[in-house]
Structure 1
């Protein structure tokens, strides 16, 4: 994401005044979290505009639940191979083979489309959903998955305003179409709302695709060449899988417990865990912005200085000087990231007292919220450590971190399970993973001189 990060950093440093700073950081939020915000907007609009007397063959709750599942499932299916695609894109850009970059985008759509097709087919067969409804789910999953993929490619683009315009245009189309909802028969209202969301998401995906083609141009026929990177870098592929499974395992685990509210026998909404988990996901946005705008951009600069000194036959003292600067930058910004995320977690926990009826009105609800916020805070710190290690192509340590994260989350969540308070196992596992990740980061920095010159 360094491409977007440099542009956002220049914009933020250029703008002066409180209002301009808020505007700049607002654009940063949309640029870095567009798909999540798009789904959040869809859920909010559906909740506000759906008529209470909507009773068709498909309950109105399916709209809200379906969009939520769309966000979660699409991020899972693209997250499984996003690191492989990112590595392939980086190599193609370094070799200036831009046609292969564009071709890999079209090839990357295939796995997510197959996954969406399998999900919608399973819903039709096992959940006995109407074919029209399953078809709507197929389209929604496919489009949102494409948007997630587009964000990977747009990380190399310089036009952040184009990203903002794409998401804004999609939201506007959704709103305009929803204004005519009162003209639609109650019987077809559910499907009309699906049409509104599909149209808005499609406009966003189309405009983002235009931005990608403006950067990389036309494609060649190497659509599936990036698949070879799965065999070439299996540890990198497994790193993405382990992290994705570990992140969403608690959410899926608690959804299928006896305390769930069941919708149509398949879609489930966990009464206690879903909303706190969603708040926890939102709480990592400031940390991600700090990482991309401040941490990653500064790391990119220091890495270039260090490797330029090596490639240009710098003296030992020069290389040692730039290596020391690089280490200090990593540690300094890591501590700053921890402070930023700690401040966000503290504010959310503090305001949870103020918003509710009091700290002891419903202790279980408060406790789960705190656990989810803490768990996601530790998760984003661990994620940043993993990305920093991958900057130096230290795939082994990144693999260990993701594997430990997945195993510990699954073990602690299952161990505590329903007998304890939901989210406690998730938080404990995330905290232990941060400790392991920090130790591995220190080990790498301590041995950086030898690691850099090793043949991977």
Structure 2
């Protein structure tokens, strides 16, 4: 689903510096999506709130509440993320466009039912001694987020990229402005502002999808057909999101690194700020990911498999295969180069950045290792993306399981080693997983012709 990547590449063909900035700027915004931009928006709301009438304790409660909303909603929606993406891609390939929208409606109903059920349980168990309004707003925000993530699956297939950027801008501008206007109502006011912003994002993107994929019925559940479901994709989506949050959850609930904030929700002040700041650094790398991996590799992939399907000569098939390997290698190298340069620049400016936003420079060592960790995680994402194209579902499950298990084990070990080693568990887990992924991807390419022709013969 690299349609938008091809549209952005048309901008690059104009061959000017301004067009280069435009293409990669748009790619960075679109590929980062609500996940990274939410971090920026929420932190901006928190910083501005401190300068208004909102108490510092309520701002902290807001930031922690939103962090839990993000963590749980992303992990829950991971059940559908990859499996529904694959289902939609298959329907597009078979020109069954009219059943996509009804099935998206079906997915939204399933997601809503699951999020409401889980949210009601959380309201009872995790939020004792909190106001009814706070609980209702947490539930509403959770349901909206759980439905927003599946909708963003379609962003990379839409060619109306300027509309997407405008919607992102309006959505988060609405969240920030509404939170500031309602800040006099404290924690509940800030949560209401965020709800308005994410609701605008959801309904705007949903409207865009309706225009692009008109349906033939209101609601369908074809995506739940067992013959069209790949359990490995469900496991991959769930395990990857769980792995990303595993170290954070351990720090939240380890008695030496956390404290209670609101209800039973806990946070780790020493760990949370640097890691979430570090995630903002992947925007340049994500832009390269969209333009190079989701465009150049998709094109090389099509050339190879079209040659196989059409019975081209073995020499040409090998040529297309070599081209695909080179494009994958160059794409990963481009991400490494751009993200590496970003990390180096942030290393130089880290002290000024932390000082400017009012964070103690004592966080610098942790911020440094977190920058490295999230950058390696981006490389892991690029490797997994190539493996998804090659339909290596089992390998991706293995990588996600390795990432999840190693993040838990190494984080627990580094906590016991002391504050000087905080963050090294997460960075070590991403490094082990990425290196393993590179090795497995190399093996996959070596066996590609054999596996392709064996499958053709079945």
Q: TM-score, normalised by structure 2?
A: 0.89
Distance 1:229 1:337, change over 3 A: farther
Distance across 2 between alignment mates of 1:63 and 1:254: 18
Distance 1:45 1:419, change over 3 A: same
Distance across 1 between alignment mates of 2:49 and 2:361: 32
Distance across 2 between alignment mates of 1:290 and 1:73: 28
Q: Could you tell me whether the CA contact under 8 Å between 1:98 and 1:216 is conserved in 2? A: yes
SS of 2:312 mapped into structure 1? coil
SS of 1:81 mapped into structure 2? helix
SS of 2:269 mapped into structure 1? coil
Match of 2:158 in 1: 157
Match of 2:430 in 1: 430
Out of 201, 204, 212, which is 2:201 matched to? 204
SS of 1:454 mapped into structure 2? helix
Distance 1:6 1:195, change over 3 A: same
Deviation at 1:270, TM superposition (A): 1.0
Select between 121-130 and 319-328 the one with higher mean Cα deviation.
Answer: 121-130
Deviation at 1:342, TM superposition (A): 2.0
SS of 2:454 mapped into structure 1? coil
Distance 1:368 1:88, change over 3 A: same
Match of 1:257 in 2: 254
Distance 1:274 1:46, change over 3 A: closer
Superimposed CA distance per residue, residues 125-145 of structure 1 (whole angstroms, 9 cap, x where no aligned partner): 442122221110111112222
Distance across 1 between alignment mates of 2:176 and 2:121: 30
SS of 2:260 mapped into structure 1? strand
Match of 2:330 in 1: 332
Distance 1:376 1:10, change over 3 A: same
Distance across 1 between alignment mates of 2:107 and 2:433: 30
Distance across 2 between alignment mates of 1:393 and 1:173: 40
Deviation at 1:401, TM superposition (A): 1.4
Distance across 1 between alignment mates of 2:181 and 2:328: 53
Deviation at 1:71, TM superposition (A): 2.6
Aligned residues: 447
Select between 322-331 and 106-115 the one with higher mean Cα deviation.
Answer: 106-115
1:372-387 aligned at under 5 Å gives the runs 372-387=370-385
Deviation at 1:364, TM superposition (A): 6.2
Distance 1:414 1:39, change over 3 A: closer
1:48-447 aligned at under 5 Å gives the runs 48-49=48-49, 53-54=53-54, 59-113=58-112, 114-128=114-128, 129-174=130-175, 177-178=178-179, 180-181=181-182, 186=184, 188-220=185-217, 223-228=220-225, 232-258=229-255, 259-353=257-351, 355=353, 365-420=363-418, 421-447=421-447
Deviation at 1:160, TM superposition (A): 0.8
Q: Could you tell me whether the CA contact under 8 Å between 1:83 and 1:236 is conserved in 2? A: yes
Q: Could you tell me whether the CA contact under 8 Å between 2:116 and 2:143 is conserved in 1? A: yes
Distance across 2 between alignment mates of 1:54 and 1:428: 39
Distance across 1 between alignment mates of 2:15 and 2:207: 28
Superimposed CA distance per residue, residues 80-125 of structure 1 (whole angstroms, 9 cap, x where no aligned partner): 3201011111111111112321122222224443235423532334
Select between 214-223 and 386-395 the one with higher mean Cα deviation.
Answer: 214-223
Superimposed CA distance per residue, residues 149-198 of structure 1 (whole angstroms, 9 cap, x where no aligned partner): 1110222111111212222232344455456448xxx5x45434333322
Distance across 1 between alignment mates of 2:16 and 2:272: 39
Select between 108-117 and 96-105 the one with higher mean Cα deviation.
Answer: 108-117
Let me know the Cα RMSD of the aligned residues: 2.7
Superimposed CA distance per residue, residues 6-33 of structure 1 (whole angstroms, 9 cap, x where no aligned partner): 2222224437234x54344332222122
Q: TM-score, normalised by structure 1?
A: 0.89
Deviation at 1:328, TM superposition (A): 1.8
Distance 1:315 1:82, change over 3 A: same
Q: Could you tell me whether the CA contact under 8 Å between 1:116 and 1:138 is conserved in 2? A: yes
Q: Could you tell me whether the CA contact under 8 Å between 1:71 and 1:144 is conserved in 2? A: yes
Q: Could you tell me whether the CA contact under 8 Å between 2:39 and 2:276 is conserved in 1? A: no
Deviation at 1:213, TM superposition (A): 0.8
Distance 1:98 1:437, change over 3 A: same
Superimposed CA distance per residue, residues 361-409 of structure 1 (whole angstroms, 9 cap, x where no aligned partner): 9886222212211111111111211110110111122222112111111
What are structure 2's unaligned runs of at least 5 residues? none
Q: Could you tell me whether the CA contact under 8 Å between 2:242 and 2:404 is conserved in 1? A: yes
Q: Could you tell me whether the CA contact under 8 Å between 1:162 and 1:208 is conserved in 2? A: no
Q: Could you tell me whether the CA contact under 8 Å between 1:84 and 1:229 is conserved in 2? A: no
